[in-house]
Amino acid sequence: MKVLIFMTQFYQLSGAERLAVELAEELNKRGIRADILSMYTEDMPGVEEEKEAILRKGIPAVHFLGMRVNPPVSSLFPSIIRLRRLIRKEQYDIVETSMVMPTVIASWGILGMRTRHVAGLHQVFKADRENELVHKFWRYSVQRNHRIRYYSISDFAVTHWIAYSNTSPQHIRRIYNGIPDDYFHVTSDRDNVCNELRIPGKASIAIYVGRLAAYKGIDTLFDALAPVCETENIYMLYIGLPDANVKGTSDMLSQIEKQIAVERLEERVKFLGYRNDIPRLMASADVLVHPTRIEGFGLTLAEAMAAGLPVVASNVEAIPEVLSGTDSIMVHPNAPLALRNAVLGTLHRTPGDTARAIEKGRKRAQDFRMANRTEEMIRLFGDVLSERF
């Protein structure tokens, strides 16, 4: 079996991109050749270094489709042709995609070929929300190719995709996201983290991990905890990069920065940007806060539970499914006071209650091990090629 993992990019990784690279790594470890195809060009800053790092991890080849970021519609046809040439040259059995534009290109690119297309759905799609022109064209594209098969990251997302796209339930599976073993084996490095970030040892550390985007509720988190940072001795850490492509994000971050300056919270509210030591930071914190307004899975939730970090999150979409069986506290989104009370309730638990909550979280996190996801993806690919799915 020879698989092409077709993604937007493999640098500055967020959830879906990181999962694509990790899947390629794991498939190659199991003797299945899996190459990576980036939608973009090779001449972007930092790409060559990341490409070399990926090749050192055992991925045989990294290809580039040559598109620019935010490409015009006119570039789609030449990209489809280039994809078809690559597939013919390398004789790929399966093209896997997990983002909108690669899925559009692949859905047209494999028409009339023996190669099969497996499309991953990494968010919840709703007709009254994902209704822009790009989404309409995407939905039209996948509906035209009846040989595409799908997987989605939660039962909630599966249900909504069927309603959104009229896909047969027989042609889609739920395959949970997987997290690396690092999160299960990490230990606290609290003293060094506190020294590095200038946090007093007796303070409580609340962290947010993910892209900084308007829909993630980062403003709700600030509004919830900023008023009690001093009185409750809380330090807030935002870990992740801004996503300026999401409407409202730049204005939201600008407003938060102004409030930090006015309220003199520079020492207590820290934006750490991209970090490659997230397991260490999670294991050294007191609570993960995930106040998102939409969520198809919430990879950071699984990571936090595996690292032994209590969770407070929004009670939206697939989050109750992911946190099932745990003592994590869920509240309505856009409710700063409820979020504040949930965080304080978590921080003020007795040591026994905290230990029990951590144990339940670790148990649930076992369902999201990378090995589980890899085996299910291999089974999915095999069933697609044998036309059992």
* Residue 100 and residue 63 share a domain: yes
What distance in Å separates the CA atoms of residue 160 and residue 294, rounded to the nearest whole number?
Answer: 13
* Residue 196 and residue 165 share a domain: no
Residue 14 is predicted with a pLDDT of: 67
What distance in Å separates the CA atoms of residue 226 and residue 236, rounded to the nearest whole number?
Answer: 9
What distance in Å separates the CA atoms of residue 389 and residue 385, rounded to the nearest whole number?
Answer: 8
**Tokens representing residue 347 in the block:** 């921080």
* Residue 330 and residue 364 share a domain: yes
* Residue 160 and residue 71 share a domain: yes
The separation between CA 171 and the C-alpha centre of its own chain, rounded to angstroms, equals 23
* Residue 204 and residue 102 share a domain: no
* Residue 340 and residue 193 share a domain: yes
Tally of domains within the chain: 2
* Residue 243 and residue 223 share a domain: yes
* Residue 165 and residue 21 share a domain: yes
In order of 10, 38, 62, the CA distances from 4 in angstroms are 14, 10, 10
323 beta partners = none
* Residue 331 and residue 251 share a domain: yes
* Residue 327 and residue 221 share a domain: yes
What 3-state DSSP class applies to 199? coil
Each residue's pLDDT, cut to its tens digit, for the chain (389 residues) gives 999 999 888 766 567 888 999 999 999 999 999 999 999 988 888 888 889 988 999 999 999 999 887 777 778 899 999 999 999 999 999 999 998 889 999 999 999 999 999 999 998 988 888 788 888 888 888 888 888 999 999 999 999 999 999 889 999 999 999 999 999 999 999 999 999 999 998 999 999 999 999 999 999 999 999 999 999 999 999 999 888 878 899 999 999 999 999 999 999 999 999 898 999 999 999 999 999 999 999 999 999 999 999 999 999 999 999 999 999 999 999 999 999 999 999 999 999 999 999 999 999 999 999 999 999 999 999 999 998 77
Q: Give per-residue burial for 120-147: e unless 16+ CB within 10 Å, then b.
A: bbbbbbeeeebeeeeeeebbebbeeeee
CATH number at residue 375: 3.40.50.2000
Residue-wise DSSP of 317-382: TTHHHHTTTS--EEE-TT-HHHHHHHHHHHHT--HHHHHHHHHHHHHHHGGGBHHHHHHHHHHHHH
Q: Which domain holds residue 13?
A: 2-178+370-385
What distance in Å separates the CA atoms of residue 66 and residue 74, rounded to the nearest whole number?
Answer: 13
pTM of the model: 0.91
* Residue 59 and residue 115 share a domain: yes
| DSSP annotation of 97 | E
How confident is the model over 78-100, as pLDDT tens digits?
Answer: 999 999 999 999 999 999 999 88
Residue 12 is predicted with a pLDDT of: 60
| DSSP annotation of 68 | P
Residue 68 is predicted with a pLDDT of: 84
Residue 11 is predicted with a pLDDT of: 67
* Residue 326 and residue 336 share a domain: yes
